[in-house]
Amino acid sequence: MMFSESSVVAVWGYGVAAAAYAVFALYLLRAWRGGRAGGALLLAVAASVAWAACSALLAASPGGLLLRLAGGLEVLRVVAWYAFLLVLLQPLWAAGRRWPVLLAAAASAAMLAAVLVPTELLFDDAADAVKLPLGVFLAAAVFGLVLVEQVFRGLPRDSRWALKPLCLGLAASWMFELYFFADGFLFARLDADVWSVRGLVHAMVIPLVAVSAARNPSWTLRIAVSREIVFHSTALAVAGAYLLVIAGAGYYVRYVGGDWGRALQTALLFAGLLMLGLLVGSGASRARLRVLVNKHLFPYRYDYRNEWLRFTQALSAADDGLDLGQSVIKALSDLVESPGGGLWLRTADGRYPQHSRLNSPPCDAVEEEGGSLCAFLAEREWVVNLEEFRVRRSHYEGLELPAWLLHLEDAWLVLPLVSGGRLVGFVVLNAPRAPFEINWEVLDLLKTAQRQAASYLARMQVTEALIEARKFDSFNRMSAFVVHDLKNLVAQLSLMLKNAERHRDNPEFQQDMLETVAHVESRMRALMGQLQEKRSIDATRAVDLCALVERIRSTKRTQRPPLELALPEQGSVQVVAHGDRLERVLGHLVQNALDATPDDGNVALKLHDEEDGFVTLEVRDSGCGMTPEFIRERLSRPFQTTKEGGMGLGVYETSQYIRELGGTITYDSGKGCGTRVTVRLPASRRDAPDGGDVSGAPAPTRAESEPLRA
């Protein structure tokens, strides 16, 4: 194991390795807190310091004594790393599987014998005398790989993350040793060039060992590897590898390119350095490398188990004074230290009004499903940082934020809520209480949390739809009972009319008839208090709104305050609708205004001329009014009513029918300020088919035109 000449590269290589291992040993000594694994690692690193220092001296001044000393320290270094791996394998050999310990002892004894026993005394052939110790160290390298493999496979799959860098580094170093000694065993001599870089190769393993030491607190080593140091070290290593590749390609071009080789080599090296400068100066490249280092070399910022438990607990806070929408806002805002925000939820008609808010003012803005914001959120599922959007709009290519969102006070983050590939809604979070950095880990946490929240909200919507369907089913079942009662009442009246032909002059019959009519009238009033009229809808036709509102005023003439009516001068405004149903829903709006207004107030109904293809009708009152929250959250929902004995279907039916006709209905009201209801309906074309009933009055039925026969 002698070298004919020293190598400057070897001196520097082993010297750098000795210095690096010495610094690492001092750091471990300061961080060690008495753990067995930490102590074994400290001894292995200390043995590596002595081996590298002696090898540097051997390279600078070759000699027989230094060669024997370097061989002995080589054995000490290998045995120390064996001991460290055996400590990590303690659960295996403590359970009775002691073969790694026995093989390690045998390998250690064989290496020690190969170094101490003069092999030239055992073999006449010089080549055989050299091959014996080389073969022993070759077997020792193979056994080192076996120990690393046992450590890695002996760990549970979810625990390998902590030891993966260590196993990778030690496996790479022993594979280098395997190649080094296999080449020497094959040619009966060691390769001086490979030996000269051996120290540098082993020094490259130190960062991986340090990362694993920091990831394993059970070794009782208080090591905290700086993210900045690892980032710059990784960047330097990547740059070095890149330059080596460029240099190799340059030498290949030089020796293969003939007369042009040297010129091409120069051009290639210049291009490589220029590209390296561009990459180093690129903020995006540095950001990607930083994310890569943080993801794979450091523990995560959050304890995801605790975060998920806290998030689930926040979602369940609906039972603690918060509805589900507010619970979703609170759960998401707590992840980023935000005080609250607003939730915009999708409705059945594809619009996104504000559904809930927490520590945030109300917002009347409504987003359409096909708008830029909703389309962007549904397609990319990105968390939109409004501060970043204002500075770097190019990052959000294709996104045009609505004006109301850009001017919304304290708006900070826009989180999409996607469930089953559909945008359920989105949350706008307010600015945090203190400066909060949004990095890749925060974004990943928010994206995962929003999917969980979206699934909760989607189930809430399905549940509400199911509840409404069941209410309608109950309503229909109730209608069947009411129809049955009405049939009995009609039968009583029919029998009374049939007997009236014969007993009309009988005083007793007259008295009985009056009592029967009073009973039927009382019973029918009770039934009508429970059931609104529901009947099949005929085809639409042209309806004269002027005549229709006149009839509404006529039916309300006995009520107070009197209904004021304002009609256009042309005297005829037509829309396409079902006359009786339109009269019922508009009459409902008027009746609501009358019910909400005291006798000394005023209620007005105003009909405007056709404009932009629409007819506008306004119902104004000076009554008690409604709050914006009531209008937004309860007014147009079925089975929501403030009237005693009401069913809560009037406003719901009105809104549905107006939208069915292609119109719109809006409410402008305030508590104690009265209410204005504006209905816009598409105007009827003037070329309505002949024979159409433009009055809006339903045609008389046969039962109404013909007398009841006995």
How many CB atoms sit inside 10 A of residue 432's CB? Answer: 17
CA 571 to chain centre: 58
pTM over 0.85: no
Report d(CA 372, CA 423) in Å as an integer: 13
Residue 223 has pLDDT above 90, yes or no: no
> Mean pLDDT across the stretch 377-384?
91
What class does CATH assign to 541-705? Answer: alpha beta
Q: Place 496 in a pLDDT band, splitting at 50, 70 and 90.
A: confident
Element (H, E) at 250: helix 227-256
Percentage of the chain lying above the pLDDT 70 cut: 68
> Across the strands, what pairs with 427?
343, 415
Task: Round to the nearest angstrom and report the end-to-end CA distance of the chain.
Answer: 131
Residue 697's pLDDT band (cuts 50, 70, 90): very low
CB-CB neighbours of 604 under 10 Å: 17
- Integer Rg of the chain from CA: 44
Q: How far apart are CA 343 and CA 352, in angstroms?
A: 9
Q: Which residue has the higher pLDDT, 223 or 506?
A: 506
Residue pair 428/341 in contact by the 8 Å Cβ criterion: yes
Neighbours of 263 (CB within 10 A): 12
Q: What CA–CA distance (Å, rounded) separates 590 from 650?
A: 12
Domain boundaries, the chain: 8-225, 227-299, 317-461, 468-530, 541-705
Q: How far apart are CA 657 and CA 585, in angstroms?
A: 8
Q: What is the distance between the alpha carbons of residues 272 and 13, in angstroms, rounded to a whole number? A: 26
Q: Report the mean per-residue pLDDT for the chain.
A: 76
d(CA 609, CA 650): 27
The pLDDT assigned to 51 comes to 92
Residue with tokens 């930083």: 290
Least confident of 278-282, 389-393, 438-442, 446-450: 278-282
Q: For helices 206-215 and 8-31, what crossing angle results, to 10°?
A: 10
Report the distance separating Cα 676 and Cα 514, nearest Å.
45
Superfamily in which the 317-461 domain is placed by CATH: GAF domain (3.30.450.40)
Q: Which two tokens stand for residue 464?
A: 């509400």
CATH of 8-225, one of 1.20.120, 1.10.3470, 2.40.170, 1.20.1070: 1.20.1070
CB 52 within 8 A of CB 21: yes
